[in-house]
């Protein structure tokens, strides 16, 4: 279906993704390389299409969260090296080999599952040892890193390709904490090297660390949200001219004028205080526009903000377009992103409802057609 025939849709600017990739690469401190993150369907942008665009940028390795995501990329012809963030359970170990992917490990059970699959399939598996320096989610403790690294290299079926960690507070004003965690990771790297263990990639930097902490670049950085044109939050210095890659758009399907005192949508959570023009748009929480945006956010109509009024419904939402001239049924509405007449960043909408831009793009519904620019 052509865009003109859609009630609601997404526009994905792949050139914006490539532009952001180049800007981020320009910050790298040698010998660091870029590992773009395309997990969660490339943060909702479409993993296959984004990966194809990034292959033109000669990315060293792309990162996904689960082995199923790696398999999807391989099935669609992506040949760039892939790394899986989530450690494998035994039933998934064979799939790691099928995907020809590297994978993180942080427990003996992960190592044994992969070694068993390697023996069965006759193929070596590349692993990245995850170390916990403060995230508290996955990873061995720093003092156990050398011992675990030795356990990995003792298995000829496995190749210790990398050692990795994750910095939890780089997007906050917590520089002493983050600098201390970077120092801890550096000490882990040095202890592993001093033990005579060869590792190709030490890496811990996310998008905000890539931009604000050059000392965290090591051998590679893993950029996710910045790749798609968003800053992690308002505390990260906007040092790059990032371009938003996703725009969510819809159309007005109905207009009405109502008197003061008119109750709108489920629960009557909004009652008009004046004579108002109300537009119904074909976009709701089933499309990924959050229900808790009710009465809190705006969308752009003819270049002007129009408040979301009443509860966001599954398939429709109401906007107050009072005072916006020449509004008509069929007019394009910008829920977030970029249009010819307005910019409304996803993170601005997210901030109004107490969440983050990551959630705005990853929650988009399947029924919205994507148009790639």
Domain spans of the chain, in order of start = 31-227, 246-372
**Residue 135 has which token pair?**
């995230």
Predicted pLDDT of residue 133: 97
Q: How confident is the model at residue 1 (pLDDT cuts 50, 70, 90)?
A: low
Predicted pLDDT of residue 170: 86
Over residues 185-193, the mean pLDDT reads: 98
Over residues 244-269, the mean pLDDT reads: 98
- Phi, psi torsion values for 278, nearest 5 degrees: -115, 130
Predicted pLDDT of residue 250: 98
Catalytic choice (120, 254, 266, 341)? 266
User: CATH number for the 31-227 domain, one of 3.40.50.20, 3.20.20.70, 3.10.150.10, 3.20.20.10?
Assistant: 3.20.20.10
Residue 234 has pLDDT above 90, yes or no: no
Q: Which helix H or strand E contains 114, and what residues bound it?
A: helix 108-121
Task: Tell me, yes or no, if 266 is annotated catalytic.
Answer: yes
How many residues are listed for the chain in this entry? 373
| Mean per-residue pLDDT of the chain | 95
Cα(148)–Cα(106) distance, integer angstroms: 8
**Residue 321 has which token pair?**
């377009």
Q: How confident is the model at residue 236 (pLDDT cuts 50, 70, 90)?
A: confident
Q: Which of 200, 125, 130 is nearest to 166 (CA)?
A: 130
Which architecture characterizes domain 246-372 according to CATH? Beta Barrel (2.40)
Q: How confident is the model at residue 174 (pLDDT cuts 50, 70, 90)?
A: confident
Catalytic choice (39, 201, 231, 289)? 39
Q: Supply the pTM of this predicted model.
A: 0.94
Tens-place pLDDT, residues 126-137 = 999 999 999 999
Over residues 347-353, the mean pLDDT reads: 94
Residue entry with tokens 């990995």: 152
Tens-place pLDDT, residues 303-318 = 999 999 999 999 999 9
Tens-place pLDDT, residues 69-87 = 999 999 999 999 999 999 9
The number of beta carbons lying within 10 Å of the beta carbon of residue 361 is 30
Over residues 187-207, the mean pLDDT reads: 97
> How many percent of the chain have pLDDT more than 90?
92
Beta-sheet strand order (sheet of 201-205): 33-34, 220-221, 201-205, 158-164, 125-130, 101-105, 82-84, 62-64
Task: Tell me, yes or no, if 186 is annotated catalytic.
Answer: no
Residue 2 has pLDDT above 80, yes or no: no
């Amino acid at each position: 279906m052509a865009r003109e025939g859609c009630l609601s849709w997404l526009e994905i600017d792949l050139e914006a993704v490539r532009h952001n990739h180049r800007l981020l690469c320009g910050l790298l401190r040698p010998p660091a390389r870029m590992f773009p993150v395309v997990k969660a369907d490339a943060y909702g942008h479409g993993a296959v299409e984004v990966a194809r665009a990034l292959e033109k940028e000669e990315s060293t390795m792309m990162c996904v969260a689960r082995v199923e995501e790696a398999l999807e990329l391989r099935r669609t012809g992506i040949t760039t090296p892939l790394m899986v963030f989530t450690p494998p359970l035994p039933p998934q170990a064979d799939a790691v080999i099928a995907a020809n992917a590297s994978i993180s490990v942080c427990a003996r059970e992960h190592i044994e599952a992969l070694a068993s699959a390697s023996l069965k399939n006759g193929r070596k598996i590349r692993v990245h040892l995850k170390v916990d320096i403060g995230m508290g989610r996955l990873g061995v403790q720093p003092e156990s890193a050398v011992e675990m690294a030795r356990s990995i290299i003792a298995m000829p079926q496995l190749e210790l390709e990398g050692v990795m960690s994750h910095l939890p507070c780089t997007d906050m004003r917590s520089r002493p904490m983050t600098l201390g965690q970077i120092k801890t990771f550096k000490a882990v790297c040095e202890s592993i090297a001093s033990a005579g263990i060869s590792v190709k990639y030490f890496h811990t930097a996310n998008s905000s660390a890539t931009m604000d902490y050059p000392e965290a670049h090591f051998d590679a950085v893993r950029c996710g949200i910045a790749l798609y044109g968003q800053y992690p939050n308002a505390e990260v210095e906007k040092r790059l001219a990032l371009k938003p890659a996703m725009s969510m758009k819809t159309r007005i399907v109905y207009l009405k004028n109502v008197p003061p005192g008119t109750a709108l949508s489920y629960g009557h959570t909004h009652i008009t205080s004046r004579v108002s023009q109300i537009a119904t748009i074909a976009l709701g929480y089933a499309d990924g526009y959050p229900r808790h945006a009710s009465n809190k956010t705006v969308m752009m109509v003819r270049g002007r903000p129009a408040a979301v009024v009443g509860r966001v419904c599954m398939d429709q939402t109401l906007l107050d377009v009072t005072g916006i001239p020449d509004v008509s049924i069929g007019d394009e509405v910008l829920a977030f992103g970029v249009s010819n007449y307005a910019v409304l960043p996803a993170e601005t909408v997210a901030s109004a409802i107490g969440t983050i831009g990551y959630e705005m793009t990853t929650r988009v519904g399947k029924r919205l057609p994507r148009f790639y620019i």
